[in-house]
Structure 1
């Protein structure tokens, strides 16, 4: 069987020596082509303009420099994907994860093509209710009804990446929030379970900076509340249209 062409890009800062050594040890003997994608840093020239007012209005606060750099790291990785016509799929992972190198990701991509799915999370940070769609071996493809957050690892097809990238015109949210807006971006919220990729336990400077970020005042909080209500209505309307056909063809639990 001929599988789609697939490559792996690991987003990592050039001076993250310990993390890169751990990635090299993990990916030793991986049968897929992989390479580091040098992560952006705060202050680098960005392909997208920063929109602090839009961040405050839509997200409730201005993004930290690290969040903006993380956003652009993923955008640049998708740009390099678009620039390489030999690839059908890209597996994007950050450098603070461990991935199962024995798993058949190219065969998984072929199955996703057959089901018309162009984006699949390989990890989720938070539990969300889900509809089981179909099986891949002993694992399940689940359709999540809400954003589980995190951009640690995902598979994305060429068409899905192009559609997603075309709607990004400015930095207004963290990249994981942007990826999770399935009712707007068409990246339906599928995840592979059990996960073939897990987050390593290590300190996160990005999360600590988020905790220290200043939240907007009463006026901005009211604007944010209106935005959240609009998102809630739009998301529920989208799910209402999708859940009926998904419910009809979903798989049932196996009896052991």
Structure 2
């Protein structure tokens, strides 16, 4: 398998961290792909920010340069990878995806936060993680599940695999989107392709990657400061389904977990009821 991670020329600390992580996991064949810098782009009349446009172009370029006869692992340079990832990549799971007509397999994502989809992820986690009390690390998985990305995937392009079939399909779709704007960030564009059936994809569960702690804080995509709550809570949700360490997660979200996000008492009550009902549903429908 070929692989790359997307990294700005000026992001030396992220480059060093990624190189060290890949070396430790035995993924030295994953090479650095120099990201397109938003500061070097000519002004464009698009609905997305210059950082989002540069990200879109960087991913598109990485796919276009890949060998179309071999699956491609694509990582962003803030990806924290599970210790289980190398074994999954060697397991033949990707060949199964290709045989089933899959174009793209996400190693993690921000999921659609409906009860149905969160329960699917939660039950997968319970099936595939080692038993509690066994002393085994979270990455000692008993297997991996393929969940339908068409309905589960919301956004996120931190880590994914494009099959040879996908490498024959996706670059042309992206070039078409670029010709018309693009009108959405890269990951939301992937979501549109999935939902309209032009791209076939799955989400691997448990997640085999997750954004590094606090990576949103130094993002070059131009996220507004008011998105901090979404970044912290959404990032924590993604990490909860990660086949890797969770140490520090509760402390990380503590300032936001019970924050008074609304003054509307009925909205607060609704949130509390949803949380309790989710626990009851998860308990009552736990895998046997």
TM range (shorter): 0.5 to 0.7
Aligned to 1:175: 186
Q: Does the 8 A contact of 1:50 with 1:172 survive in 2?
A: no
Q: Does the 8 A contact of 1:67 with 1:206 survive in 2?
A: no
Uncovered stretches (5+) of structure 1, i.e. residues with no partner: 1-5, 53-61, 214-251
Q: Does 1:105 align with 2:118?
A: no
Flag as ranges the 4+ runs of structure 1 deviating above 3 A: 43-46, 126-133, 205-208
Instruction: Select the residue among 202, 207, 210 that pairs with 2:214.
Output: 202
1:15-55 Cα offsets, whole Å, 9 max, x none, are: 21111111111111515621000000115469xx9552xxx
Partner of 2:157: helix, strand, or coil?
coil
- How far the C-alpha of 1:158 sits from its partner, in A, is 2.4
- TM-score scaled by length of structure 2: 0.60
Partner of 1:210: helix, strand, or coil?
coil
Q: Does the 8 A contact of 1:147 with 1:189 survive in 2?
A: no
Q: How many residues align?
A: 197
Instruction: Select the residue among 70, 79, 82 that pairs with 2:64.
Output: 79
Q: Does the 8 A contact of 2:110 with 2:153 survive in 1?
A: no
Distance in 1, matches of 2:6 and 2:200, equals: 23
Distance in 2, matches of 1:42 and 1:148, equals: 24
Aligned to 2:239: none
Distance in 1, matches of 2:60 and 2:221, equals: 23
Q: Does the 8 A contact of 1:141 with 1:193 survive in 2?
A: yes
Partner of 2:147: helix, strand, or coil?
strand
Distance in 2, matches of 1:74 and 1:66, equals: 12
Partner of 1:209: helix, strand, or coil?
coil
Q: 1:108 to 1:27 in 2, by over 3 A?
A: same
Distance in 2, matches of 1:137 and 1:7, equals: 26
Uncovered stretches (5+) of structure 2, i.e. residues with no partner: 129-140, 227-284
Aligned to 1:142: 147
Q: 1:147 to 1:193 in 2, by over 3 A?
A: closer
Q: 1:166 to 1:95 in 2, by over 3 A?
A: same
In the TM superposition, 1:124-139 aligns within 5 A as 124-128=109-113, 129-130=116-117, 138-139=143-144
In the TM superposition, 1:90-101 aligns within 5 A as 90-100=72-82, 101=85
Distance in 1, matches of 2:287 and 2:99, equals: 23
Partner of 2:223: helix, strand, or coil?
helix
1:143-185 Cα offsets, whole Å, 9 max, x none, are: 1415321110101112213312212332221000111111336
